[in-house]
């Protein structure tokens, strides 16, 4: 095939992508009302095992949920629904990031607690997480990080449905010569994540929101992200909005002289994905940090780490740390309105993970197993 033919095909593909993204933008502009959990007689929680260490840590997370929410489960107010089929084997066999029957089961739930899923390198199979964030319109990825003894109390609002991820498996290529992927920033998509960050800051007594981009280089996408965030900031005069570039911000997080000054961050998708892993490592490792994916209709809660295939290959899956998924469960319980139960679980997790530390998971046989750590937490409850 000639280079000209590849170019013609790429132009047609790009036109189709532009039209699709404009339709998505128009749908966002129409908006939707947030779900009111307090008024619901029944809340269905989907339980998804995932891949690798996912089913191992999710088994303990389900045990934890059944203990914390025992009264509500017994009364029928809370229903736990196991969802099968979101595995790399099933997704690869069907050639779908999220098979149709699995997606239908997921959409029958109100919130999800999900184990990590594997995404193949290369090829065209999209990340299951990217697909779910798009299909459920989970536009805000919220990741808290706390190290009280160092004055660190951060919360990251990462835009979750755009950037490099929304079209990450649909780039163009002239084989042997060049390849191009696409980055997408929309006005309504940026405005709603900025509003979510500033709303959180206003509701929780925070005084600053830090906007993180690379707007000096990515002038259209990141430039507009910065502009829109500052337009939203104008509605919150009591909150300072400051700007940092992503490269220096990665350095700021390990700079002990200034890092405790930061409070709330808002940033595009890729930067948020990378920097929150760095932040979690400062907290004690990616195994310690939970993650919320929020939308108006649905919400999905998960560990921020991956499926750890090397642990499985080395026979160490049973030593996986469930702290991250336990934190995600606490965030989910809080999201659906059971604040007292979430506060109690948060206090126990802080005691077990940061203060008492009688049972420590290292990821190796010299430490506790996943189940032993879960037993430790549940005894404290």
Spans of all domains in the chain: 31-138+295-381, 146-154+161-285
User: Mean pLDDT over residues 15-32, rounded?
Assistant: 89
Q: Which fold has domain 31-138+295-381?
A: Isopropylmalate Dehydrogenase (3.40.718)
Same fold yes or no, 31-138+295-381 and 146-154+161-285: yes
CATH number of 146-154+161-285: 3.40.718.10
Our measurement of the distance from residue 36's CA atom to the centroid of its chain's CA atoms, rounded to an integer in Å, reads: 22
Which helix or strand (DSSP H or E) is residue 154 part of?
Answer: strand 152-159
Which helix or strand (DSSP H or E) is residue 359 part of?
Answer: none
Cα–Cα–Cα angle for 260, 261, 264, rounded to 5 degrees = 100
Is the pLDDT score of 32 beyond 90? no
- pLDDT range class, residue 166, cuts 50, 70, 90: confident
Nearest in space to 270 (alpha carbons), one of 126, 191, 163? 163
* Predicted local distance difference test score (pLDDT) of residue 286: 73
* Predicted local distance difference test score (pLDDT) of residue 121: 80
- pLDDT range class, residue 353, cuts 50, 70, 90: confident
Of how many residues is the chain composed?
381
As a whole number of angstroms, the distance between CA 101 and CA 83 comes to 10
Nearest in space to 48 (alpha carbons), one of 3, 84, 1? 84
Taking the C-alpha atoms of 141, 63, 109 and 116 in order, what is their torsion angle to the nearest 10 degrees? 40
* Predicted local distance difference test score (pLDDT) of residue 274: 94
* Predicted local distance difference test score (pLDDT) of residue 287: 67
Is the pLDDT score of 5 beyond 70? yes
Of 24-33, 183-192, 293-302, the range with the lowest mean pLDDT is: 24-33
* Predicted local distance difference test score (pLDDT) of residue 170: 85
Of 96-105, 140-149, 152-161, the range with the lowest mean pLDDT is: 140-149
User: Mean pLDDT over residues 353-366, rounded?
Assistant: 91
* Predicted local distance difference test score (pLDDT) of residue 123: 75
What's the mean per-residue pLDDT of the chain? 93
Which helix or strand (DSSP H or E) is residue 159 part of?
Answer: strand 152-159
**What pTM value is reported for the model?**
0.81
Six token digits for residue 244? 């940092």
DSSP 110: S
> Beta 152-159 vs 140-147: how paired, if at all?
antiparallel
* Predicted local distance difference test score (pLDDT) of residue 1: 77
> Beta 208-213 vs 264-267: how paired, if at all?
parallel
- pLDDT range class, residue 213, cuts 50, 70, 90: very high
* Predicted local distance difference test score (pLDDT) of residue 208: 97
Is the pLDDT score of 347 beyond 90? yes
């Amino acid at each position: 095939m000639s280079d000209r033919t590849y170019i013609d095909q790429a132009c047609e593909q790009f036109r189709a992508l532009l039209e699709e993204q404009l339709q998505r933008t128009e749908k966002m502009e129409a908006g939707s009302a947030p779900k009111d959990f307090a008024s619901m007689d029944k809340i269905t929680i989907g339980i998804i095992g995932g891949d690798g260490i996912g089913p191992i840590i999710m088994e303990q997370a389900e045990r934890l949920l059944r203990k914390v929410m025992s009264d509500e489960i017994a009364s029928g107010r809370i229903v736990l629904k196991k969802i099968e089929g979101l595995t790399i084997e099933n997704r690869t066999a069907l050639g779908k990031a999220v098979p149709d029957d699995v997606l239908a089961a997921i959409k029958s739930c109100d919130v999800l607690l999900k184990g990590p899923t594997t995404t193949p390198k290369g090829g065209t199979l999209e990340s299951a997480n990217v697909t779910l964030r798009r299909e459920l319109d989970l536009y805000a990825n919220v990741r808290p990080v706390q190290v009280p003894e160092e004055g660190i109390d951060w919360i990251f609002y990462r835009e979750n449905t755009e950037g490099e991820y929304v079209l990450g498996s649909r780039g163009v290529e002239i084989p042997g010569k060049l390849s191009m992927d696409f980055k997408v920033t929309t006005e309504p998509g940026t405005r709603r994540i900025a509003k979510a960050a500033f709303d959180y800051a206003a509701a929780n007594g925070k005084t600053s929101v830090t906007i993180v981009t690379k707007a000096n280089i990515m002038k259209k996408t990141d430039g507009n992200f910065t502009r829109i965030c500052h337009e939203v900031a104008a509605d919150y005069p009591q909150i300072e909005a400051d700007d940092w570039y992503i490269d220096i911000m990665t350095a700021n997080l390990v700079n002990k002289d200034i890092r405790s000054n930061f409070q709330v961050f808002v940033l595009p998708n890729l930067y948020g994905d990378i920097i929150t892993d760095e932040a979690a490592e400062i907290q004690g490792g990616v195994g310690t940090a939970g993650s919320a994916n929020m939308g108006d209709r649905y919400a999905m809660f998960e560990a921020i780490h991956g499926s750890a295939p090397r642990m499985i290959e080395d026979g160490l899956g049973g030593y996986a740390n469930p702290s991250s998924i336990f934190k995600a469960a606490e965030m989910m319980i809080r999201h659906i309105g059971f604040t007292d139960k979430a506060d109690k679980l948060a206090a126990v997790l802080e005691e077990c993970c940061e203060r008492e530390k009688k049972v420590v998971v290292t990821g190796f046989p010299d430490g506790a197993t996943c189940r032993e750590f879960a037993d430790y937490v549940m005894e404290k409850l």
